A and B are shown apart, each in its own frame.
Chain A
Amino acid sequence: MKISTNISGNKSKTEGGEMLLAKCKGELKILLKEYDNKREALLPCLHLIQEKCGYLTEEIILFLAKELNLPPVEVYSVVSFYSMFNLKEKGKFIIRVCVSLPCYLRGSQMILETLKNELNIEVGQTTKDKKFTIEAVSCLGLCDKAPAMMVNKEVYGDLTPQKVKEIIRQYKRGEGR
């Protein structure tokens, strides 16, 4: 992603970036007002965009920078600091597999391998049809159900390779929870 420091200057636009921004501009304005256009609004705004658009574009970052009176690079640094904010388009279903110690002890590696085989991608990648992304994440607080993973907002615990295959097939068929 390119970040221009000159808000009004010429820059290469992310494909569809303007469109994505337009999609949530209204709601963003309301949220910004709630926070009096103060910096604290940044994370709530990013969450809102992420929820509506799936990822954050250059246009969105420039827009927020202007609204919050921050240098664009400052907004960018916040976006890239947090692992839940995406700067690239990700799959419709983001699969977060916990790889922290309690899940590792119970076989999270096997869960990751199964997912990689089932979807034919590596960790951090997105399937060609933009349906699935696999992420290896830190503890999800599901250690009593280890190994565990989340698909978007849904929680899946006590996983086995077989269970994982079934869950993925359900999502592929459009029957996911």
Chain B
Amino acid sequence: MKIILKNIEKRGYKGDIESYLKNGGYNALKKALKIKPDQILSEIKKSKLVGRGGAAFPTGLKWEFAKNSKEYPKYVVCNADEGEPGTFKDRLILENDPHLLIEAMVICGFTVGAEVGFIYIRGEYFKAYEVLKKAIEEAKIHNLLGKNILGSNFSFKITLYRGAGSYVCGEETALLDSLEGKKGQSRVKPPFPTFVGFKNKPTVLNNVETFANIPEIILNGGEYFSKIGSPNSPGTKLYCLSGDIKKPGVYELPTNVTLKELIEKYGGGCEGKLKAILPGGVSSNFLTDKELNITLDYPGVQQAGSMLGSGAVIVINDTHCMVDLAKRCAEFFDYESCGKCAPCREGTKRAREILTDITQGKGELGDLTLLKELQEVMFDTSRCGLGQTALNAICSAIEKFPAEFKEHISRKKCRLKICPM
């Protein structure tokens, strides 16, 4: 069952407009332009598609809010600022099937009544930027972008906008600030971007993978889509397997796949002995081999006490020290915190300091409680997801591997001799 990679996995598929058209590309747009926006919206809602960027917000609802708004102009923004460590699925779409994204964005614009779209692509994706630039030009030539698309009275343009190396810009409100030429710092929510977005106008902001599902829903109907995979969050998902895994890569699978199947059947198993798994990048909680049977849909992973996020499944074997990895995560968030709100700015810094001390044999047992308290405060008071989830991996490592932490603190010993004691 392939929806997003159906073209990419075809032999000889090049991703240019000719290949895309030959494989039925832009048929969804043609169909969409003939039916009413209300009807498109009802199909998207019926599909039960939820955002694939991490937050899993119902896409249909998002589009409906923007559509119903009386404020103009409205905007469509694609979040292509893929930055969650362990995520590399959007790159695959952007570099190999850019028209899939363009088609979906035009459909979105038509549905909500927007005539301007932006693709915010991360600065380091040089190749994807060039590919998209070319694809946009191709689409313009074929009258799939620009004025009076395919003879209709609907016009839509897409501007490519490059980020410049900032993880937090993947957060939707920080992305909007960056798109406005400011520092990428998150805004207070609510109001949400669907009401007050780019330049304070209604803005639909979706992840690349979310958009990539739209043409299929238009062509085959929302009900068809809702029957694929897990009924709780239907469709397929691009799972990015990385770390100590035999066959790393992006796997498109129905959302009812289990973690065990993904790792063993598709990923060829863990390299070495499995110790821990991060199912949704470094913002998620660690899972262990006890949780291998969970379903990889949004509610399934949440029930196991973690989150699916963008689908970055990082596999870790027993040659790694969990205290050291926790410190790594803390360093990452300390570096990437935008500095706007105090809980995140200070919290990530303190977490890094505490964990560095522990890895150097200078920790105290009270530090572990302190980190837990810090996580609670940061979750309650940080402005955006970065601060709210920054200590997830760290605290879950403490919870699931307490002996390792206690050994570092009380006996000043790293059994794997990784930490510099």
Contacts and interface: CB of A to CB of B under 8 A. Distances in A.
B316 interface: yes
B308 interface: no
A123 interface: no
A41 B165 CA distance: 17
Contacts of B278: 101
A66 B181 CA distance: 15
B276 to A, nearest CB: 11
A81 B183 contact: yes
Given A77-B183, A102-B314, A143 B88 contact: yes
A47 B162 contact: yes
B197 interface: no
B83 interface: yes
Interface in A5-45: 38-44
Interface in B310-328: 312, 314, 316, 320, 325, 328
Contacts of A42: 181
A42 B244 CA distance: 41
Interface stretch (B123-131, B362-370, B400-408): B123-131
Given A78-B182, A84-B165, A85-B164, A101 B332 contact: yes
Nearest to A104: B328
A40 B216 CA distance: 34
Contacts of A137: 124, 165
B85 interface: yes
B83 A105 contact: no
Contact of A138 (B85, B162, B163, B240): B85
Given A146-B242, A146-B248, A84 B161 contact: no
Contacts of B138: none
Interface in A63-100: 68, 77-78, 81-85, 96, 100
A78 B312 CA distance: 30
A101 B328 contact: yes
B181 A144 contact: no
B182 A101 contact: no
B183 A138 contact: no
B192 interface: no
A143 B240 CA distance: 8
Interface string B78-114: 0000111111101100000000000000000000000
A96 B179 CA distance: 24
A106 interface: yes
Contacts of A153: 126-127
A27 B180 CA distance: 21
A46 interface: yes
A79 B126 CA distance: 19
A142 B328 contact: no
Contact of B85 (A46, A84, A139): A139
B242 A143 contact: yes
A81 to B, nearest CB: 4
B165 A101 contact: no
B184 interface: yes
A137 B165 CA distance: 9
Nearest to B120: A43
A121 interface: no
A38 B316 CA distance: 47
Contact of B248 (A39, A44, A139, A143): A143
A43 B166 contact: no
A153 B167 CA distance: 19
B282 A100 contact: yes
A176 interface: no
Contacts of B243: 101-102, 105-106, 143, 146
Interface string B235-258: 000001111100011100000000
20 contacts: A82-B166, A82-B183, A83-B166, A84-B124, A85-B165, A96-B124, A101-B243, A101-B278, A101-B332, A102-B85, A102-B242, A138-B83, A139-B167, A141-B83, A141-B125, A143-B85, A143-B242, A144-B242, A150-B124, A153-B127
Given A101-B86, A105-B320, A141-B83, 11 more contacts: A41-B181, A44-B161, A81-B166, A81-B183, A82-B164, A101-B282, A138-B167, A143-B312, A144-B240, A144-B242, A144-B248
Interface of B: 82-88, 90-91, 122-127, 161-167, 178-184, 240-244, 248-250, 278, 282, 312, 314, 316, 320, 325, 328-329, 332, 335-336, 338
* Top 5 A-B pairs, shortest CB-CB distance: A82-B164, A143-B242, A83-B165, A100-B85, A84-B165
Interface of A: 38-44, 46-47, 68, 77-78, 81-85, 96, 100-102, 104-106, 137-146, 150, 153, 155
